[in-house]
């Protein structure tokens, strides 16, 4: 063991996050015998993390800038309460090298990679250059900013149309333009530069080959403090809307064992090139020929980490804490293969059939699915207030089964059990997706969800807005009949005027209990 690495047991972790990921992290802490402390903003004072953590500390008012992003105050709090480490979760401070540096300077363990690794992967052109040098396949194209239209035109001819114009300082798709042919280059070039200047304060742009209808496949990696990096396999994340993932699964139907080995090797190469430790994810585009290209690396734990946990049996948050303590990765992680199939759907407080309009409010009724192979990573409970201040993701529903077909059946079953009332959620979208032949066959690409939504191909099921009413109706019909005749099961939801009236009475009773409307 290099003597620069010190092994230090973590006894208390300060969780610098909120919602489901704060709950996820405190669960790992509790199972490891580690004390958990959370911070919370004013609107989050009755949040699930506050109720479940060993300790909870107010950090400020609603705006993130004045609460969850107060790096110095958070490090100071960690010191005051005797926390050895800070877990940043995802979002907020998780990919800020400056925050990781603040922790290091204060002698607090940042549960994540080094500030140097975060910095190296933070810049698009910089990481692209590093990856090319390390031998990681990147999308064909230049690696230098194109200072004028002439250089851009020459580069485009070399690469071959269609090409993709990207902001050097960009990321997440901002300032990105597809250029189908030479005649569209001048206009797009000028527009992209001014857009890049406005968004990033840096107007440099560069060109890549445009990859048509690829999949978004990412590789989970884990690195220890001794330079060892392993791959834990892929996640299929093509089902996204406007760069917001909606459904993720592991493994990908498009990844053979041989391709998994190749992509895993590339991801390990990428991470090793920046001296990566802790959990991280390499994003790739996978084209129709089975060629893959490194896009970027996310230097944090990701929202969709549970699908990897379910197919590998590895608790990624516990693994993060162990490697942060200086524990080396064991030899059992050398050749991890996925077992079975896992699918995650993200439950957002949005109305998927009204343009994904935000739907804040009080969760009046919450019934989460249970039973074999079902996992809920939720940040809310019945009675929770969903505020407009933060990301609208309420919970993740993750299922596991022996194979993809069974996982789909299990997801369908779980979604049939799920009830959320008081606010709209994305659940009806998942029920609609399960009826889609392309989704069912795994025939996915990054544009699929947007295309299907635009074409109106995904529609709410006829009974989706009714919730439990058809079931209640059937039960009441049965009840009424067995009273009258003592016979037989219900034949239909609204058979007989007597049961029809009781149905409405029952619905009204539920309605008054909740003090809301069920229409």
Least Cα distance to 507 among 498, 495, 519, 496 occurs for 519
CA atoms of 91 and 302, how far apart (whole Å):
9
Please, what is the Cα angle at 315 between 58 and 320, to 5 degrees? Answer: 60
Nearer to ligand MV4, 235 or 375 (CB): 235
Q: Based on the shown chain and the rule CB under 6 A, indicate whether residue 296 belongs to the binding site for ligand MV4.
A: yes
Does the footprint of ligand MV4 cover residue 224 (CB under 6 A)? no
Closest residue (Cβ) to ligand MV4?
Answer: 173
Number of residues forming the site for ligand MV4 (CB under 6 A): 17
Stretch touching ligand MV4 by CB under 6 A, among 85-93, 103-111, 210-218, 474-482 = 210-218
Shorter beta-carbon distance to ligand MV4: residue 285 or 473 = 285
Contact pick of 208, 218, 236, 350 for ligand MV4 (by CB under 6 A): 208
Q: What values do phi and psi take at 236, rounded to 5?
A: -90, 115
211 binds ligand MV4 per the rule CB under 6 A = yes
Q: What is the DSSP letter of 141?
A: B
Q: How far is the CB of 515 from ligand MV4 (least distance, A)?
A: 41
Restricted to residues 312-351, the positions that interact with ligand MV4 (CB under 6 A) are none
d(CA 109, CA 494): 62
- Number of C-beta neighbours around residue 259 at 10 A: 17
Whole-angstrom CA distances from 149 to 141, 142, 170, 184 are 16, 14, 19, 12
Q: How far is 307 from 441, CA to CA, in rounded Å?
A: 19
Strand runs labelled E in 390-501: 393-401, 419-421
Of the residues 128, 235, 300, 346, only one is catalytic, namely 300
Query: Which span (113-121, 203-211, 353-361, 508-516) binds ligand MV4, by CB under 6 A?
Result: 203-211
Q: What is the DSSP letter of 219?
A: E
* Sign of the alpha-carbon dihedral angle for 254, 258, 264, 270: negative
Rule CB under 6 A: choose which of 210, 294, 353, 356 binds ligand MV4: 210
Q: Which is nearer to ligand MV4, 172 or 456 (CB)?
A: 172
Q: Which of 2, 172, 331, 355 binds ligand MV4 (CB under 6 A)?
A: 172
Identity of the residue, 177 or 510, whose beta carbon is nearer to ligand MV4 in the bound complex: 177
Of residues 314 and 449, the one with the C-beta less far from ligand MV4: 449
Sign of the CA dihedral with 203 first, then 209, 212, and 216 last = negative
Nearer to ligand MV4 by C-beta: 360 or 447?
Answer: 447
121 is a site residue for ligand MV4 (CB under 6 A): no
Q: How far is the CB of 447 from ligand MV4 (least distance, A)?
A: 7
Tell me which of 282, 295, 399, 432 binds ligand MV4, using CB under 6 A: 295
Q: E strand or H helix at 357, and its extent? A: strand 357-358
228-257: which residues touch ligand MV4 (CB under 6 A)?
Answer: 240, 243
Task: Name residues contacting ligand MV4, limited to 445-504 (CB under 6 A).
Answer: 446
By CB under 6 A, which span of 92-100, 147-155, 172-180, 379-387 interacts with ligand MV4?
Answer: 172-180
**β partners of residue 282:** 219, 297
Q: For residue 318, give the 3-state DSSP assignment.
A: helix
Compare residues 204 and 378 and give the one whose CB is closer to ligand MV4.
204
- Report phi then psi at 21, rounded to 5: -75, -30
Q: Nearer to ligand MV4 by C-beta: 16 or 239?
A: 239
Identify residues 125-144 at the interface with ligand MV4 (CB under 6 A): 139
Answer whether 296's CB lies under 8 Å from 176's CB.
no
**Interface with ligand MV4, residue 216, by CB under 6 A:** yes
Query: Which residue in 116, 80, 111, 82 sits closest to 16, CA to CA?
Result: 111
Instruction: HSE, CB side, 13 Å, CA atoms: give it for residue 203.
Output: 11
CA geometry: angle 259, 305, 272, nearest 5 deg: 55
Compose the 400-439 pattern: x for residues touching ligand MV4 by CB under 6 A, - for all others.
----------------------------------------
Candidate list 164, 253, 434, 472; residue touching ligand MV4; CB under 6 A:
164
In sign, the C-alpha dihedral spanning 380, 386, 390, 392 is positive
Per DSSP, which regions of 67-120 are E strands?
85-87, 109-110
Q: Which two tokens stand for residue 5?
A: 């690495």
Respond yes or no: is residue 354 known to be catalytic.
no
List the one residue from 173, 180, 371, 508 that touches ligand MV4 (CB under 6 A).
Answer: 173
**Interface residues with ligand MV4 (CB under 6 A)?**
139, 164, 171-173, 176, 208-211, 216, 240, 243, 285, 295-296, 446
What residues act catalytically?
300
């Amino acid at each position: 063991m290099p003597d620069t690495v010190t092994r230090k047991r973590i006894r208390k972790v300060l969780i610098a996050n909120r919602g489901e990921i704060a709950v996820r992290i405190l669960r790992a802490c509790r199972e490891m015998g580690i004390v958990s402390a959370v911070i919370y903003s004013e609107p989050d004072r009755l949040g699930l993390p506050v109720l479940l953590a060993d300790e909870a500390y107010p950090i400020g008012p609603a705006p993130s800038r004045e609460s969850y992003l107060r790096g110095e105050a958070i490090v100071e709090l960690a010191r005051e309460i005797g926390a050895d480490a800070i877990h940043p979760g995802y979002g907020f401070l998780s990919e800020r090298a400056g925050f990781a540096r603040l922790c290091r300077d204060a002698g607090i363990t940042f549960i994540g990679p080094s500030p140097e690794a975060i910095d190296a992967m933070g810049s698009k052109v910089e990481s692209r250059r590093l990856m090319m040098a390390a031998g990681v396949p990147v999308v064909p194209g230049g690696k230098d900013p194109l200072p004028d239209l002439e250089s851009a035109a020459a580069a485009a001819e070399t690469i071959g149309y269609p090409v993709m114009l990207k902001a050097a300082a960009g990321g997440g798709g901002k300032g990105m333009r597809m250029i189908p042919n030479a005649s569209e280059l001048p206009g797009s070039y000028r527009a992209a530069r001014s857009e890049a200047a406005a968004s990033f304060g840096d107007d440099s742009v560069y060109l890549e080959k445009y990859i048509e209808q690829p999949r978004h496949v990412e590789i989970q990696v884990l690195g220890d403090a001794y330079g060892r990096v392993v791959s834990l396999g892929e996640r299929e994340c093509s089902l996204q809307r406007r760069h917001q993932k909606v459904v993720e699964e592991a493994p990908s139907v498009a990844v053979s064992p041989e391709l998994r080995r190749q992509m895993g090797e590339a991801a390990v190469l990428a991470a090793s090139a920046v001296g990566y430790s802790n959990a991280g994810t390499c994003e790739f585009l996978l084209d129709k020929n089975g060629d893959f290209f490194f896009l970027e690396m996310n230097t944090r734990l990701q929202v969709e980490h549970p699908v990897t946990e379910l197919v590998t049996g590895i608790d990624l948050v516990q693994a993060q804490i162990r490697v942060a303590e200086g524990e080396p990765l064991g030899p059992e992680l050398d050749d991890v293969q996925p077992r079975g199939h896992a699918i995650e759907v993200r439950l957002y407080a949005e109305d998927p059939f009204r343009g994904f309009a935000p739907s804040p409010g009080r969760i009046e009724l919450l019934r989460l699915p249970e039973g074999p192979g079902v996992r809920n990573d939720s940040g809310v409970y019945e009675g929770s207030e969903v505020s407009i201040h933060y990301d609208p993701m309420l919970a993740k529903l993750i299922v596991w089964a022996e194979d993809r077909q069974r996982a789909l059946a299990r997801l369908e079953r779980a979604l049939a059990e799920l009830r959320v009332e008081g606010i709209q959620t994305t659940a009806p979208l998942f029920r609609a997706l399960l009826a889609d032949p392309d989704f069912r066959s795994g025939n996915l690409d990054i544009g699929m969800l947007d295309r299907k939504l635009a074409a109106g191909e995904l529609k709410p099921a006829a009974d989706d807005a009714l919730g439990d009413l058809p079931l209640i109706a059937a039960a009441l019909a049965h009840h009424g009949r067995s009273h009258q005749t003592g016979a037989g099961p219900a034949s239909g939801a609204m058979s007989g005027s007597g049961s029809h009236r009781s149905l409405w009475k029952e619905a009204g009773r539920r309605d008054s209990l909740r003090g809301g409307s069920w229409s």
